[in-house]
Structure 1
Amino acid sequence: MTLGDSKTISLLVLGVAAYILCILFLAGMIRGRVAGRRHRGIIFLPPLAVCLLLLLSITEVYRFVTGDIDPSVLEEIAENIGTPICIVAELVMTMLWGVLWLKQELNIIGRLTPQSLEDGLNSMPDGVAFATSKGVPLLVNSTMQRVYREAMGSPYFDIRDFEYSMQNQTLIVGCSADTHGKGYYLHLIDGSVWDIQKRLMMIEGRKVWELLAYDVTERYRKSLELEERNEHLAEVNRSIRNYTREMNAIIREEEVLAAKIRIHDDVGRALLALKSYLIRGGDREALIEMWQFTAGLLRGENTPDDSSDPIGALKEAADAVGVKLILNGEIPKKLRKLIAIAIHECLTNTVKHADGSELTVDITNEDGKVTAVFTNDGKPPEGEISESGGLKSLRSAVEQERGEMEIASDPGFMLTIRVSGKE
């Protein structure tokens, strides 16, 4: 079947399709020309020529079929063209146009143009601006424009005015700027913080100012938190140093106190031994030897002997002065020294103030809490007992063990010590 044998409607449809194809290829040529030299639409010219020839052929046949006119040379040739060939040709031209248009689109997208550059800069989250050496803006992206407008309250970008306002704190109310190296930290009303940096560039022999704005809100907040933590750590370090100095002083005081207590014990035993010798008599040479050691101890020539069992020594001292020492209960190893100090003090008070002959120590241990109660059979104290000398030192020793000490004088003398006995 040829075009000359086709119906009028078929010729009309083929003609319209050829006309549309001509328009599409022509649009491709114009688009390529507008896009730039490298993307001119010359490639669309051959298929456009084919579509025009096809359109003229179909038009001539259509005119001859619908009108009473003499056939032209082109019509005589065209009427012998097969209708299927025209249909196939138009389909091929349609697919060819699609391929060429897509290729042109990819080329345009991949090519850097002033418009694409501007679109890319405007899509950036950071602010970018370029200005001449006199401050005339060349390019300001949307982010920089927004930052400038919120800080200055004006839509007209001026790089020199912007820098002056940050230096002299003349920004709009609610905004401020801090100097940061060669740049600034700009604080906006919404709480965001921007790092503003400016530098001079040479482009084709011309001086151009570049202004950049980075959103550093999160980093700035974390830097403030880090500064606070560093200050806290510095304060902790100062506290630790002060605590160390205080601990050293406390340790020295404890060592001095322990030495005083040991000397007090040795002197007390010597006095008790002397009193026993004066009352009952005894080994004079042993007494002289004890006092010689005690005198050397006071002069710093001797050191207290901590190797012997203090409880056993106290029992011997009690026997020497005629006092019976009664121990009820087991003394924990941890508290043996503390109990010995308390026994020594109570033994001295029993002999010196109460004139007693028996000292009783009752020790109980309930769930790791040790209670030691000291009583004697001597006369009760006259009034309240004043803590001084040995009793004061004993309380310090008890408190060092985080214990409690109570003294009662009615109806008789009673000393109570409570302290943890866990190792």
Structure 2
Amino acid sequence: MSNFVESSVGIQNFVMIMMEICLAFEMMLILLSVTRFEGLKRITLTVTLFAGSFFIMAAFQNDHSYSVGKRMNQHVMLPDIPMVLIVCAVTGLMLYLIWNLFGERRREKTLFSQWAVNDAVDNAPCGVCFADTFGRIVLCNSMMWEVSRMLMGEKLQDYDVLHQALQHTGRIAEGVVSMSSEDSVFCFPNGKIWMFQEYLLKDPALEGYKQAIAIDVSEFYYNNEKIKANNERLQSLNRKLEEMYEKIGERIREQEILAMKLQVHDNLGRSLLTIRRILENKENMSHMNKQLDVLKEQVYILTNMTVENLEDLYQNTGKHARKLGIEIHLEGEGPKNSTYRLLLDRVIRECVTNCARHAHGSEVNVSIEEDPEAYNIRITNNGELPKPKAREGGGLSSLRRALEAEGCTMVTVFEPAFCLMMRMPKRQSE
């Protein structure tokens, strides 16, 4: 079996061409291992394989020169190796290198390279910049380059310069307006509003590294301004509605007072005529007490009451409350004494008015509990909480005087919520 030197020149040239291709493949593997930082072990194995292949290629060159008659090469380096084994070895080496190159290609699709990371950061919708502990920029996308150039009027080269501009201590380009003295928000001449944020990276391997982000907040800012303008218009409209509401309440009250005056005029006239007839005819004096009670009721009507009769005592008050958008919830049975019932109706009406005007509520709750000695009454509402240091107004103060004149007590509480409590002692007739 012939060896390399004894083979034909054509076969020798074919083997050397294959070996040169293998050397090229090995060089490519070395470059890939170095650029990807695949570890010292892998790089050492690749370089060792390249050195061995280079030595074999030198042996082929020496033996080829010997076989073509260049006698300057005195000995053969591969005398005893059959040519078939050499061809198989070189072919196997080439197939191995081709398989490795395809493997590297597959790994490239699954691994992130520096260029892949750079492309991903470049395509981010916001500006991103990373700097080391000395302020040197290690990664910055195209958006951040452009935004920092508009902010400072020059190309970004040092992170500390950007940091000073964001802290309002460095140079800012003409036409750029700071939107806040505390936050890094700037309005650029093109109408765009950018917000900058700075972070220190917390990973132990990146200790001391800094990150800056620029975000376009123009849409959020202008939408927020529109919302503020709409809120101001709504508040103005709400104030006008409250004024209109108060005027409507006053109008209703005026109409009720007019109706009350007419009613009181008629009732007083009838009662006085009846009393006169009793006195002139010297009738049973028991009818006199009844007429005096009627006169007393009319006196309370003149102090803002609109009661038509004792059987429907709270009907007009409920109607008045519904006009104001308030529902009265009454629990328990009211006092039987006509004076107490008139006073209670007056208190409920005043609480309804205060609930509509001050608390802006929709419900007034009246709870009446009766014990052997007195009626305990509690009035609350579902409106807003009273303002701090709230006090009784003129209406509640006049009610207190009227109640105390009849031997009753009244307590008003404003914290944490409004509550009016009354105690009406029972009369001997009850």
- What range describes the TM-score normalised by the shorter chain of this pair? 0.3 to 0.5
TM-score by length of 2: 0.47
TM-score normalized with structure 1 length:
0.48
Q: Highest Rg: 1 or 2?
A: 1
